[in-house]
Amino acid sequence: MKEDNCLHAALLCLGMLSYTLAMATERLNSSRLSLHGHHEKGKEGQVLHRSKRGWVWNQFFVIEEYTGPDPVLVGRLHSDIDSGDGNIKYILSGEGAGIIFVIDDKSGNIHATKTLDREERAQYTLTAQAVDRNTNRPLEPPSEFIVKVQDINDNPPEFLHENYHANVPERSNVGTSVIQVTASDADDPTYGNSAKLVYSILEGQPYFSVEAQTGIIRTALPNMDREAKEEYHVVIQAKDMGGHMGGLSGTTKVTITLTDVNDNPPKFPQSVYQMSISEAAVPGEEAGRVKAKDPDIGENGLVAYNIIDGDGMEIFEITTDYETQEGVVKLKKHLDYETKKTYSLKVEAANVHIDPKFINNGPFKDTVTVKINVEDADEPPVFLAPSYILEVEENAGPGALVGRVHAKDPDAKNSPIRYSIDRHTDLDRYFSISSENGSIMTIKKLDREEIAWHNISILAAEIREYLKK
């Protein structure tokens, strides 16, 4: 059977591959691809018809990053009409022709003269043609073919961020999603496992885990308590080659902070508070403060105080100082030491915001006893009557008894009282008073026709104050 002239392409594999792979690749890429339609007999004598068409080429491959001493043989062009006498000239044009790819115009061998990087360019489109060396007359129509840069695992995975920060509520259920970290690999995802990534956790166990395929970090322990440990440092690795030995890897750091939930009730640090306040204090004056401790923070740690029992409920009140989280006990009514010297209050501290999910941790309140002692104030003496009307005859001589006033010390110690006349009210000194018993006597003879009424003020003081004057 007469064959049409044909141009063939043979892929010669690189010495970097094993001999077996090289032979298989050569057999794959050395299949005879006809330039013109022709007939071939099959093994059983049948005729295979192939319609007339342009050149059809298998893709040529060259491995990236080859650093051998000689140019890489990519493949070979050959025409059936090439009898080896040198009359046929092979021409190569297209992307990288003459710069990256050169052709031996006699043998048709194509070499790559530069190291190629698939991540910079994955393939090159070239055009092959056979012409008469003497006349440059085309002997074959031109045909395009592709040289693909074959990937090697030369790029480690890289995470989008060097550091990640994430929050997750304390006491989250096991398996709660915290954050997803993502790495990328510049190698060819369609070839081998060079870009197939697997995630693993290097630091942060047993508190956290990571999904191997997705990079989602999840909680791995139940009941993680913020009050025990608030911040965790996790290191995640992404490894290519499906995580197998020999794969390249990259890591990232993840700082995970446990956020607060209301899982702790307020608690008073003591069972009884002792306070004291003067009986002279006015309503609104502070008697003392109590404070229940709550390790939660923010609104979860807010505490409100109330008086729920005690004999001082009508005398005292309590308010909440939200800046200090203290309960402020204040006087509501006047006190009298001589009437009641002590009071007792039962104070409750309760969380303002309660999380229903942790209601079983409750009750979210605590109580404490507050004992308040009333201090005796040094009160001035008190007259038995607010005013006195006394009579004396006008012809009474000096030293006549007019009458007597009486005052007492309301304090429990009942200090002795001393009396005196306010001389601003008795400028002419008509009267005198016994400092010890309050008896008023005349000093001068009185005349009703001159002065019918004498209005004088009597002063009473405790003896220690009297002696200071």
Assess contact for 282 and 377: CB atoms under 8 A: no
Distance CA 293, CA 349 (A): 9
Percent of the chain with pLDDT over 70: 87
Cα atoms found within 13 Å of the Cα of residue 223, Cβ hemisphere only: 3
Cα dihedral across residues 321, 326, 330, 332: positive or negative:
positive
Q: Is-cis flag, bond preceding 206, omega within 30?
A: yes
More confident residue, 227 or 23: 227
How would you classify residue 242: left for phi > 0, otherwise alpha for psi between -120 and 50, otherwise beta? Answer: left
| 90-99, 113-122, 202-211, 335-344: the lowest-pLDDT one | 113-122
pLDDT in tens, 75-129: 888 877 888 888 899 999 999 898 999 999 888 899 988 888 877 888 899 998 8
Q: Is-cis flag, bond preceding 69, omega within 30?
A: no
Distance CA 189, CA 197 (A): 10
Distance CA 236, CA 212 (A): 10
- Shortest CA distance to 337 belongs to which of 300, 301, 376? 376
Band of pLDDT at residue 59, cut at 50, 70 and 90: low
Band of pLDDT at residue 389, cut at 50, 70 and 90: very high
Residue-wise burial string across 262-276, b where 16 or more C-beta atoms lie within 10 A, e elsewhere:
bbbbbebeeeebebe
Total Cβ atoms within 10 A of residue 456: 17
Contacts with 265 (C-beta within 8 Å, 6 or more apart), sequence order? 294, 351, 361, 362, 363, 364, 365, 366
Cα atoms found within 13 Å of the Cα of residue 337, Cβ hemisphere only: 17
- The answer on pLDDT for 7 being more than 60 is no
Both tokens of residue 23? 């032979």
Phi, psi of 58 (to 5 degrees): -70, 155
Band of pLDDT at residue 179, cut at 50, 70 and 90: very high
CA dist 105 → 78, 94, 101, 172, 207 (Å): 10, 16, 12, 72, 67
- The answer on pLDDT for 285 being more than 90 is yes
Assess contact for 176 and 218: CB atoms under 8 A: yes
Tokens 């295979």 -> residue: 48
Assess contact for 170 and 224: CB atoms under 8 A: yes
Q: One-letter amino acid identity for 262?
A: N
What is the secondary structure of 265-308 as a DSSP string?
A: --B-SSSEEEEEEETTPPTT-EEEEE--B----GGGG-EEEEEE
